[in-house]
Structure 1
Amino acid sequence: MSAAKPLLNPANFPRPPKLEQVTRQLQVKWNNSVIASTNEAYWVLETFHPPTYYLPRSSLQPGFADKISKSSHSTYCEWKGRATYWDLRVPGDNQGDVTIGNRIWSYERPTKGFEPIKDYLSFYAGPWQCFVDDEEVIPQPGDFYGGWTTSDIDTKYVKGAAGTRHW
């Protein structure tokens, strides 16, 4: 019998955040159709946040790669710089495509230390389903945050969760 794998404690993640390349299998799905899939991504580990994953633009699957467009929305991260947001057209119910707005972001000119994620895409964990190594992701609490929570994250230290000082 193997010992239980220790949980990752977001309280111990660094500030400023750390960027690392990961080989975990990541997938984003809409109604069982794969929007993006890769095992060549990055994650950003930041204090009190579950990892935020960045997928290469090339991970967008046929049928979705030509349905992404830049939105007018942007935000600023003190660590990574100005974020560009994206809209994605996805198949709807008998009425044609539906546009999901501002649920994907990227950094076209990331700050020093985050250059590897230039033009990589980060997906909020909803309204689509996101998976890490076949485990469905739970979105980080709070609509502003984009972290992906999996069973290896100690959620009592996650920013935005009920009962934390960041809620």
Structure 2
Amino acid sequence: MTTEARWNGATLATSDAIVTVEGNAYFPPEALVEGCFRPSSHRTVCGWKGEAHYYDVVVDGQVNANAAWFYPEPKEAAANIKGRVAFWKGVQVGSAA
């Protein structure tokens, strides 16, 4: 099944190789649409996954700050999501039409 992430009328990512952890769909980096992401300095820490890094999502000049996150160097328990990107803050994730 193909899954996509959408925000502000634009597709941000599409993939049929999703890894789901704690109800979040993690997309492989190659699934991301170029030009919709810019690095953020925001970081958070998860006790079992490690340090999350964030991207701002940018569509048509609108910015959704820190709406995408990834674990560049996750802890061993979360190795399956290394480099994969998940979304929140109003980004809709579901089956592609």
TM-score (norm 2): 0.86
- C-alpha RMSD of the superposition: 1.8
2:93 to 130, 135, 138: 130
The partner residue of 1:67 within 24, 28, 36 is 36
Q: Give the letter aligned to residue 27 of structure 2.
A: L
Matched-pair identity in % = 28
- Counterparts of 1:16-27 in structure 2, within 5 Å, are 24-27=1-4
SS of the residue corresponding to residue 84 of structure 2 reads coil
Matched ranges for 1:1-167 at <5 A: 24-45=1-22, 51-61=23-33, 65-91=34-60, 97-124=61-88, 126-132=89-95
Give the letter for the 2:94 counterpart: F
Taking the aligned partners of 2:24 and 2:58, their CA distance within structure 1 comes to 23
Q: 1:30 & 1:73 partners in 2: Cα distance? A: 20
Q: Work out which structure has the larger RCO, using CA pairs closer than 8 Å and 6 or more positions apart in sequence.
A: 2
Q: Which runs of 5+ in 1 are unaligned?
A: 1-23, 46-50, 92-96, 135-167
Between Structure 1 and Structure 2, whose CA radius of gyration is higher?
A: 1
- Partner of 1:36, secondary structure, is strand
| Structure in which a larger fraction of residues adopt strand | 2
- Count of residue correspondences: 97
CA drift at 1:113: 2.6
Q: Match of 1:66, as an amino acid?
A: G
SS of residue matched to 2:45: strand
1:133 shift after superposition: 6.1
Runs of 4+ in structure 1 off by over 4 angstroms are none
Q: Which runs of 5+ in 2 are unaligned?
A: none
Output the TM-score relative to the length of structure 1. 0.53
8 Å CA contact 2:35, 2:58 repeated in 1: no
Distance 1:66 1:133 in 2: 20
